[in-house]
Structure 1
């Protein structure tokens, strides 16, 4: 494994999207939920047949990069590096790892109070259980979703699979509340298992379920979550409106807000 500042034109990450990444929130020189981001990287490496990652090399470089950062974003990108014939894997892969420190998205700071109005994307996620849950470098579906969203009067969109089951939104995982139950979408065919969602599952009982968008509209409350913005209430999906304070109370009761 080699930490690099740029990649070659022959890098497999550039040529084939052969790699994966994670994006983490930085607060006061610390990577929030670092053990979960580390576990994500390890799972991606194992499932995509990468060599094991050397965190004794990675972690000191991460700490050096984020030192003195009160609020920011750490992005870690891992590619398989160069080599191999066509799509075939190189006999001895030498993964390339890029570390980026990025500004924190300022609009995320107001989302918790404002909430989100969601539309519905016409782009459907294709099922691929070999990649389901992983944050790979193959993100063209999300590019199409964002291109469509830019033309719509919504903050974000609900994204479904080819069977019209709700998967996620363009920016995070969907979670909904039905009475005393907390649920999220089953992600065994497509979608991303977000680190923040994994953190929530360690704090409360969250049931995975398949749901249509029509059924989602019957929930008592809905929110979107990711590692950077945490829990953000959904106050509307299309013409269905919720009281976002239901999510606020839920988050406060479970210690999810500072």
Structure 2
């Protein structure tokens, strides 16, 4: 289908004059994508990799090209003076079309939401995090795998399970019982001097921090079961807000936190993410 490209409408959560119409396709069908960024001294950490994520989602989902010059101007204005905050960038396809069908003339909506930074993440980098294992498994859909789309009902159900059981977070498997991620972060693990991360070609989200690390170190994608994961000496979870956090346990299996903190320090020096 040929699509006429129109300009994006920008809405911020600090501007009460703008609202999202009831007909927005992001609201009705989850037709859109987003990225969540960490703002440090008015600028976005790892912005290059957030841009790559947005471009990939735009291309794979058939959205009009994003005007990054305009987006970056809006971000600069919104984040001015922010020492440490969170900026969520959401893009929907806007309104129009019949049912699931896309409108011939697209008018996407770009939503910028400035939020407070979850300060407890900083302590996790040193204390580590204890994980459980979710009973909810991710479906398999290679057409959507890797992207951070607005369709996040699986994660909503997983978060319900976490809250009901008072867990910190949980390991999530797919329907084939491969380890994929946690509810909010990617996984990397260390075996025999090499770094590995679960393969995400069927399910899961390719996080910005995971992609950043992969650009700095050799990070091997591999399928792994829960039993095999519990046998590795060191595991981390990571995302763009918390950075690199050591996993101290999965259920009743405990890991070497002292070694993890040493490897964490070495990696942050090697990647210059300090």
Shorter-chain TM-score: what band?
Answer: over 0.9
The correspondence for 2:22, drawn from 9, 23, 26, is: 9
Residue 114 in structure 1 maps to residue 121 in structure 2 = no
| Aligned match of 1:51 | 64
Tell me if structure 2 keeps the 8 A contact 1:123–1:159.
yes
Please state how far the C-alpha of 1:242 moved relative to its aligned partner: 1.1
**What does 1:101-180 align with in structure 2 at a 5 Å threshold?**
101-180=114-193
Equivalences, count: 258
Tell me if structure 2 keeps the 8 A contact 1:159–1:169.
yes
Please state how far the C-alpha of 1:151 moved relative to its aligned partner: 2.0
TM-score normalised according to structure 2 size: 0.92
* Contiguous gaps of at least 5 residues in structure 2: 1-7, 13-18
Once residues 174 and 25 of structure 1 are traced to their aligned partners in structure 2, the CA distance between those partners, rounded to angstroms, is 19
| Aligned match of 1:205 | 218
Once residues 166 and 53 of structure 2 are traced to their aligned partners in structure 1, the CA distance between those partners, rounded to angstroms, is 33
| CA shift digits 1:13-44 (9 cap, x unpaired) | 00000000000001111100001101100110
Please state how far the C-alpha of 1:164 moved relative to its aligned partner: 0.5
* Contiguous gaps of at least 5 residues in structure 1: none
Tell me if structure 2 keeps the 8 A contact 1:179–1:220.
no
| CA shift digits 1:96-117 (9 cap, x unpaired) | 0000110001211211121111
Please state how far the C-alpha of 1:4 moved relative to its aligned partner: 2.2
Residue 233 in structure 1 maps to residue 246 in structure 2 = yes
TM-score normalised according to structure 1 size: 0.98
Once residues 260 and 108 of structure 2 are traced to their aligned partners in structure 1, the CA distance between those partners, rounded to angstroms, is 42
Once residues 113 and 153 of structure 1 are traced to their aligned partners in structure 2, the CA distance between those partners, rounded to angstroms, is 21
RMSD: 1.0
Q: Secondary structure at the match of 2:106?
A: coil
Q: Secondary structure at the match of 2:256?
A: coil
| Aligned match of 1:193 | 206
Once residues 48 and 59 of structure 1 are traced to their aligned partners in structure 2, the CA distance between those partners, rounded to angstroms, is 22
Q: Secondary structure at the match of 1:201?
A: helix
